Amino acid sequence: MDDNRGRPPLDEGMLAFYRELTAATPPEAVNWPLGEQRKSWNALCKSFAAPPPPGLETEDIEVARKDGSVRLRVYRPAGPKTRPGVLFMHGGGWVLGGIETHDDMCAEIAHGADVIVAAVDYRLAPENPHPAQLEDNLAALQWIRSEGTRHGIDAKAVVAAGDSAGGQMSASLALYLRDKKLPQLKGQVLIYPVLGHDLDTPSYRRNADAPCLTRSEMIYYWDAVLGSERHGNLQDKYLVPLAERDFSNLPPAFITAAGYDPLHDEAVVYAERLKAAGSRVVLRREPNLAHSYMRARHVSAACMEGFKTIVSAIRSLAHEGRVT
């Protein structure tokens, strides 16, 4: 654990969550065989899963992509009205997780923000390094824009959201759409996101052994997603958004950063660069929370408050086009 002097202590509910997480997947799990890591993480996420909100409908859909397909899970609140869409990309270091690990969070987002969430079961690294994830997310967005109306989605009102590596994917998607002069997102919600590859920022040093995510784990995840094209991919802004130099003409953003997280500083830097380029940005800092705090929302009042703020931001962006 890092030196806590001069900052708020870690939230007790967050700490209780971390202790349970560590009992199932200790820090050394990063050295386990990949199949064992995934099995353990999936089981742990299932153990924390909350029951779905009432009246919510879900549907799994296979969407075509180049050389295959990608699965989406669509979460639709009750009622026939058309709603904005949220393309949700899960975290897990590009290596772990999937639709099931984030099922309850996506359900609560759909219900709380009155949106239709399409969660992407994108291909995982290291079997599928960058740009496989971007390709899958683009295929999912194309499906929303071409077929979403049939599923009650307002195809012109789509927000990208994601936690950790999913935050990276959300930011990268906005950059890609701008560069290719394609219809832009209505907003981006970056939840304790991965945005840069500087592993020696003050927050990386301060939180090298912090709860829920460590520096050594991030090194492992980066090695997995960079693949054999490591040098080129490190220069690719669609994998490393902070490699970009032009942050103009990007959609409004809500960014949340956790104090006990190696990734804290890159979220702050990204928010500052977006603001300097004229984008509307809200940066919310959670000084006494750690990475993955959304998952602890039902065991920690502070984590639940942070989660509700995320849901509120999604609602504002999706329905009103403004960030709060």
Considering only 6-10, 33-37, 80-84, 235-239, which range has the smallest mean pLDDT? 6-10
pLDDT tens, residue by residue, 12-35:
999 999 998 888 877 778 889 999
Instruction: Identify the pLDDT of residue 33.
Output: 94
pLDDT of residue 231: 83
Cα–Cα dist 153/138, whole Å:
17
pLDDT at 142: 98
Indicate if the pLDDT at residue 2 is higher than 60.
Answer: no
Classify burial at 79, counting beta carbons within 10 Å of its beta carbon; exposed 0-12, middle 13-18, buried 19 or more.
exposed
Rounded mean pLDDT of 86-109? Answer: 98
Judged on CB neighbours under 10 Å (0-12, 13-18, 19+), 290 is: buried
Three-state SS annotation for 240-285: CHHHCCCCCCCCCEEEEEEEECCCHHHHHHHHHHHHHCCCCEEEEE
Q: What pLDDT is recorded for position 28?
A: 78
Write out the catalytic residue numbers. Answer: 164, 261, 291
pTM above 0.85, yes or no: yes
Which of 250-254, 309-313, 320-324 has the lowest average pLDDT? 320-324
Q: What is the pLDDT of residues 121-162, one digit of tens each?
A: 999 999 999 999 999 999 999 999 999 999 999 999 999 999
CA distance 129 to 311: 30
- How far apart CA 200 and CA 131 sit, in angstroms, is 25
Predicted local confidence at residue 4, as pLDDT: 58
Asked whether 277 and 247 are in contact (CB, 8 A), the reply is yes
Q: How far apart are the C-alpha atoms of 284 and 323, rounded to whole Å? A: 12
What pLDDT score does 20 carry? 87
Please give the Cα distance from 103 to 82 (Å, whole number). 22
Q: How far apart are CA 177 and CA 203, in angstroms?
A: 30
